[in-house]
Structure 1
Amino acid sequence: MNNNTSPARQDAVADLIRHYPWERTPLGPIAGWPERLRGVMDAMLLDPVPTAILWGREGILLYNAGYADICGHRHPRVLGTPLREAWPEAADFNGKMLDDVMAGQSLVFRDACFKLDRDGVMRDSWFDLYYGPLADAEGKVVAVKATVVETTEKVMVEQRLTAQQRELTQVAARLQGLAAATSDVIYRMSPDWDVMCELDGRGFIKDTQVPYRSWITDYIPADEQDRVNTAIADAIRNKAMFELEHRVRRIDGSIGWTLSRAIPMLNQHGDIEEWIGAASDISKRKQAEHALRESEQLFRTLFESIDEGFCVIEFIDGPHGHLSDYVHVMANPAYAINAGIANVVGQRVREMLPLEAAGWVEIYRRVLLTGEPVRFQRELVHTGRHLELAALRIEPAERRQVAVLFRDVTQRHQTELALRDLNETLERRVVEEVERRTHTEGALRQAQKMEAVGQLTGGIAHDFNNMLAVVSNALELVRHRVETSDELASKYFGLAEGGITRASDLTRRLLAFSRQQPLHPRPVPVNDLISGLLLLLRHSLGGAIIVDTVLAADAWLTYVDPNQLENVILNLAVNARDAMALGGRLTIETRNCVLDEHSGPSLAAVPPGPYVAIVVSDTGSGMSPDVMTRAFDPFFTTKEVGRGTGLGLSQVYGFVRQSGGQVILDSISGKGTIIEMYLPRYTGNASAEVVEKAPAEIVPGNLEAVLVTDDEDSVRMLLGEMLTYLGYRVFCAEGGAAALQILADYPEIKLLVTDVLMPEMNGRELVDEALKRYPGLKILFTTGYAGNVALSSQMTEQHIRTLMKPFVIADLASHIREALDTSDKSLH
């Protein structure tokens, strides 16, 4: 505020005071004021400094023109009013001040800050305040004289200066930190670059802390100095950044490369005061660039001079779909010589070879997608050339490029055809003779075997048929002696007669068991074979059994007899159907695996290497340990009389072992059965990288409510204790019906942990019913045998997790936490 108040302003305020109705205030009319008060008032009105008289304990406000300016829009409304009402924002401060000064104290405040309504706007204001007591003739304090000097502008200027200083300090600190953190050389140069004022070489070049004139001869090789000086002169002339890559003498005396940048520091007149610069060590980059140039030169030399055709193709999307075409982006001169097609760069294969492009695209696209190199021979029909080719993917795969090296082997191919034609007659005669002899020897061996087996089975069948006849006859006699209206007796007779019929059929099977069926192996894509069987399986197994497949997308080829493999899978499916009389789930899975000495004793009989695993699992009745030990024995069966010959699993075992593989059986009585068949990979000794999974960490719970369901008392009890230990509130149920009742009684339950196979209501049925009633419920399955994932497809779709028994508490904690933290939206 401006304290230089004009005389007119002073007169206006004085006139206002003279005509104010003071008789309405405790002061009374002016004529009755004490002489001392009138004298002080006269002096105050002439004083340009903002001054006020605060009369009495209430501080009735009288002031001059300077103080009126401070009041702003409050003037003249606050004239003659108590101080607390005039400045309500500072009522507490003014009340204490009045009490202290009226008690005889003098007060001084420097740069006192108040948040005041100044012309209708609340803002911070600063003042220097001087308060002194005014006494009457008897010496009694009757008023306070207040002198107010506003210092707002000064304080704000000081604050801005302080903030700017703080900001400058922070900038300087950041610059110092940046200089300390960087690995670049830091230097300062004089305006004309004649003197190096300072240099921190950072172990790259020699340091200097004193002005240094001979720097260019000491740091820059002689043949680089002219180029450096020219760049410096241009920067000085233009007052612009200096930037140059040049060679430099390093601290050890060797020559390296640097990228140097410097900026001019200008004064207020625009003149250069000094240069601040930084230099990076780019020696390794320059070495790499040199090596790259040499490598490119070597590649170009080989590219131009080799006799084999070479090209790089790049896949593109076309009218035939994703990655359905490719364009030649590079081709050497020998391409045209070997392929018979010139100027291929830039051409699309579907435009070059419209009739045979699809075959070439299929081969090279497989290389691009799998990353597996390929070597093959193929005729280029367009030019009649036979080519021997090798192709590999150019990394990274996102480039969509494949490199192809090839040569023309047409002449060799024609020579091979001629030799084949010349030897055809001789080879055919040799083959015919060998086949005839082999057939004769095989027939002789088969005859000898069949004779021995026939003698054995004939004797057994004879005796067995005799016993069957005795039983059959005896049954006939008994039937005649038993009342035919006895339904129970008739049922028993029917069962016995059925058993006799099945036993007779078994004797016929025994006589036929010695048939010799040679295998005809060839490369087989197991996924395609299984997919082709699905319709037959679903039709044969009936609607009560659900058939699931979990087929590895990249399943390898195996070398087996496909017909026998189909029979094996059908045989296992029929066994599974018989084990699931009341319905269930059959799962067929494929996966790639590499077996080694650590794969376990069950797989020790096969050589280490890559295998294709075919796993057939069911949710049927399972086997006891005693049954499992004899499951592969010929003629051993657990089925009732007339339902099985005991030859099925022994035939599976014999086929897989004869094919160079191994079979592993795993079963739990009442839980289901898993048959794992490991068949050798057809393409050779590919290795698989074993990725070790990091151990799970224990994640504590937050007292969430969890329901545990398992029909085994000990399992249910231990699982509940583990969850309680992890920090969850646990409810337990011994079966599905009890679990549903607990869910209804305790709606705070967030997670259901249930076994898969349970009596009466299995885990899948329990989950389906629970989710139907409580859609937000989280689910975690537990199951006691590896690979028996009867719910795999549904779990993937519904984000339901499975934890295999046995498990450690860390795995349980991780799975529980993941299940609870999964959003409801992702589950449903």
Structure 2
Amino acid sequence: MTQPASALSEHVLILAPNGRDADLARALLLDAEVAAVIVPDLPELVRRLDAVAGAVLVTEEAVRTADLAPLSRWVGQQPAWSDMPFILLTRQGGADRNPTAARLSRILGNVSFLERPFHPTTLISVIATALRGRRRQYEARARLEELHSRETQLRELNATLESRIAEAIDERAMAEEALRQSQKMEAVGQLTGGVAHDFNNLLTIIRSSVDFLRRPNLPEERRKRYMDAVSDTVDRAAKLTGQLLAFARRQALKPETFEVGACLRDVADMLDTVTGARISVTLEAPDEACFVRCDRSQFETALVNMAVNARDAMDGAGSLVLRMAGNRPMPPIRGHAGSRAHFVTVSLTDTGSGIAADQLGRIFEPFFTTKEVGKGTGLGLSQVFGFAKQSGGDIDVTSELGIGTTFTLYLPQTAAPDATQSGPDLLDGATDGAGRRVLVVEDNVEVGRFATQILQDLGYATEWATNAEEALDRLGGDQAEFDAVFSDVVMPGMGGIALAKALRRRFPSLPVLLTSGYSHVLAEEGSHGFELLHKPYSADQLSRMLARICGRRGSPPGSHAAVMSTV
């Protein structure tokens, strides 16, 4: 029957091959109720040491000339908690007087020497002490195993917690992304609804006016009134589109370098008319000149939009202060990092009702407004926001209910322009096409047909290509067949800008004109050095621009060439 490990850990291995030493030692131990096992030789002792044991009793003569390498390896390979006790029976004393004992002390480590002859009580005492020490080692092992088990459990728990934390982080990220998408969709829905509402109002005016214009025998006075209504409505639609593109940072800007103080003084004089007589407009600007490079028209529009917003917040009475400063860093705004570069700041401070804290984060959203229905489109501040961002700056706002609001516009400051630079050629051209031949490049059938019709009505001879590749084939190696090329910018395959660049390489004398209502390429990269005509444009503007870039009024067909691209 196999003994349990707890019992085996108390037995003593006896190696005493000579005489009756082994039997005598075993008998003494059994009388003391200590289990003992006699092993015949050293290899068997090493084998049994791999099992559980309490102590080893060995005689000096059993190991004096034996190969102790296996036993030495076993002793050296014991786990950290184990230090097997050995009792060595000698006839010449301990390590201080016995060279063999000294060598065995180094090999066995935890060894006690018992010189023969000895009293049985002494043997039992030494064995009991060895077993007691071994028992403590097993208790230490149990504690180590328990600690290891707890460590494993803690690691598993930690791994589980880390997994759950990671899952929670992922769930939170997914929830935040879903919230952002929801907010985006809400903004898109609000934007779409606002655009549809405003454009439907404009289309209603245009459609009704056109219906009346189709009536025969319409009096000239009424005809002129409806024509003016269509023209004014188109201008309003163009302004609405410009505000949307400004918010989306997709408008094609016309940057120029100008002095901000002079521009502010001009705008301040105009704001008296915009805000009304009961609002005092004050300008505070330094004497030194501060220059920025941006679209001046959009800058002035942004100032007017902020002033109108302030006027409405003050209910038509109060004070509006415009302040300008140069060489200012831009602080962090709405979670975006600031900049230590030099900026020009233009702030407008009103004494109006202020903006609630829960609304400050939404005031730049398109079509978001706190005004009553019919008193605002909600696009004024979004235009300011888009203009500032696209110009490399930003806009900040601080407000206190019942006290007022301050909007601060940040624009990158630049050096003064070179005084030797000449301004653009503003020579007006003739409105008569004078038979010049124009190659129209347009992939949209309706737009292409309408463009050719306009040009023909203006006195131009036209041909129509549906894409850039076809246009290059028609031009061939000599552009003298045409006096101008009128091309769309956004087309499948090669776009209008790529076409214009190709023509500039093939025909260096060929001037290029771009016209655009929207193009992300123009908004992000500029006009690539080509002239730009903004949509919507009038037939008169188109004819004058074509005549100007052709260079000579009334020049014969084929005498000069131009490239014009549209969006």
Q: Normalising by the residue count of structure 1, what TM-score does the alignment of the two structures yield?
A: 0.21
1 or 2 for the larger relative contact order (CA 8 Å, sep ≥6)?
2
Structure with higher strand content: 1
